[in-house]
Amino acid sequence: MKPVKIYTTNYCGFCVRAKDLLKRKGVDYQELDVTGDDEAREKLVEMSGGQRTVPQIFIGETHVGGYSDLAQLDKEGKLEPMLQA
The phi and psi torsions of 64 (rounded to 5 degrees) equal -85, -40
The predicted model gives 22-51 an average pLDDT of 94
How much is the pTM?
0.93
Q: How many CB atoms lie within 10 A of CB 4?
A: 21
User: What is residue 33's three-state secondary structure?
Assistant: strand
In this predicted structure, what is the pLDDT of residue 64? 96
Of 72, 56, 78, nearest in space to 4 by CA:
56
Going along the chain from its start, the domains and CATH numbers come out as 4-84 (3.40.30.10)
Q: How far apart are CA 51 and CA 46, in angstroms?
A: 8
Q: How far apart are CA 75 and CA 60, in angstroms?
A: 20
